Chain A
């Protein structure tokens, strides 16, 4: 089983739709979680961190479910500009080590 798993998609949604992605992780000791966005042929950029209590940034909501070991990203009122690949990132580092694991990404296409 991969340490971080995402549905690769693509998710094709019309403008204005609400879409949600999940990401599962295998290490229950994982400490921090992030969503990055990557546009085609560009570098990844942080979209938002994921906090235990859940957090929202405009049209984007991120949630963490430690019991079931997954994080989610909800996008409301989708825009054409939201078309991108969304990478789930899990930090499982322990003292003195580095373990920042990227998922393979979920591709979103927002259609006019």
Chain B
């Protein structure tokens, strides 16, 4: 099992450009999450999904959109990148939101110039 994979691993964007981050999991998990991690701050939830075709806003959703068309994939889109979106983005999945372990992907390091 590959677990949770993310593409790309690194990306540099110019302000105003758009991009999509892809997260894939092969553990048949229902729940998937997108977080961002910035120095001095804990992981902050951007959006999450409790199943195929469903998405919900997290703590810091502005400037991002998501889609969960297939159970195994969760896409994070930046329509018009801003320097404030420079961060490390982690995708995670879990069987449920209760006490289950969240499994994280390796992260995407995004720099917006």
Contacts and interface: CB of A to CB of B under 8 A. Distances in A.
A42 B106 contact: yes
Interface stretch (A53-61, A66-74, A99-107): A99-107
- Decide if the interface of chain B is mainly helix, strand, loop or mixed: loop
Interface in A1-55: 4, 8, 32, 34, 41-46, 49
B107 A98 contact: no
Interface stretch (B13-21, B63-71, B72-80, B94-102): B94-102
B40 A104 contact: yes
B26 to A, nearest CB: 16
B106 A43 contact: yes
A93 B97 contact: yes
Residue of B43, B48, B90, B104 most packed against chain A (CB within 10 A): B43
Interface of A: 4, 8, 32, 34, 41-46, 49, 87, 91, 93, 98, 100-105
